[in-house]
Amino acid sequence: MATLTNIEAVTRTLQEEMRRDPNIFITGEDVGVRGGVFRATKGLIEEFGEQRVVDAPLAESSIVGIGIGAALYGLRPVCEIQFADFIAPAFNQIVNEAARMRYRSNGAWTCPLIIRAPYGGGIGGGLYHSQSVEATYAHVPGLYFVAPATPYDIVGMLRYAFRVNDPVLFLEHKKAYRLIKGDVPDEWYTVPFCRADVKRAGSDVTVIAFGLMLHESLKAAETLANEGISVEVVDPRTLSPLDKETILASVRKTSKVLIVYEDNLSFGWGAEVAAIIASEAFEYLDAPVMRVAGPDVPAVPFARTLQDFFMPNADKIARALRALAAY
């Protein structure tokens, strides 16, 4: 058993997989000599060389486009988008090319491509280094969209990503990179996609959260446990396709549910989860489905006070859970 941070889990798994498969290569801005802006690829160019750890120009459409072409001809590219905020120039490549490849070719072509994207706020990054992009890309069939929040899940899901033949958008919360630590078994394992995980069992109310918001929700659940309120915390892990069964089973168990995400509230990923619960577990609900999310402003502000206003946290989540429990 090893204790790793989230960023160490990413680096170690990339290194392990590159040793296993010579067809794997990494490309992105500053991934080589610098080791990435967050140091996720630190040390890899020294071991694998510049043919497999490739510094790319500041052109996300090119980074992903090259990855798609390489994937179609037998390689296993890992494309790093330096910040998820910068992923928009690659939208056409991701949505209209990578995600459509298997469908449009009637299964003749696949696109085994991993796109890693650090996302989320809370680091004082301001408008262009704090965004969450899940609502845009979870909407796209043909694309696995995952957001593991612990070292155990990062290792297992990144390993699994190298073993599927479709594109994977792999979100990594940048504030959690060094904030979160956890045990990773020495034994080899994977965490398959489309399987949610109950991170904390409870009986009074369910909270559904991923990424940094999972950890804030676990803090809130601990606070409420001291007040006699039992909170079940469900981590979807895969944002799309969604494990509806685990989510619905928890809702049927507790009859009250809070969905937490840090993107803007309106038209967000949590709205789709709320719609699924309303349509498939309505008769089990004892209270309205509630959400805690960021406000509907263009992006996370730079000023610390305004950033704190924008970001959901354990206190805001706890207040919503108390209201649900008392409903």
What is residue 315's three-state secondary structure? helix
**Side chain identity at residue 116, one-letter code:** R
Axis crossing angle, helix 212-225 with helix 314-326, rounded to the nearest 10: 50
How many other C-beta atoms can be found within 10 angstroms of the C-beta atom of residue 296? 10
How many other C-beta atoms can be found within 10 angstroms of the C-beta atom of residue 153? 23
Catalytic residue among 129, 139, 173, 215: 129
**Side chain identity at residue 58, one-letter code:** L
Residue 55 bridge partners (DSSP):
28
Under 8 Å between Cβ of 236 and 211? no
Instruction: In whole angstroms, give the CA distance from residue 278 to residue 274.
Output: 6
> Within the chain, what is the greatest distance between any pair of CA atoms?
59
Under 8 Å between Cβ of 20 and 14? no
Instruction: In whole angstroms, give the CA distance from residue 288 to residue 301.
Output: 30
How many other C-beta atoms can be found within 10 angstroms of the C-beta atom of residue 304? 9
**Side chain identity at residue 149, one-letter code:** A
DSSP line for 216-263: HHHHHHHHHHTTT--EEEEE--EEES--HHHHHHHHHHHS-EEEEEEE
Q: Is 129 considered catalytic here?
A: yes
Burial of 254 (0-12, 13-18, 19+ CB in 10 A): buried
| Catalytic residue IDs | 129
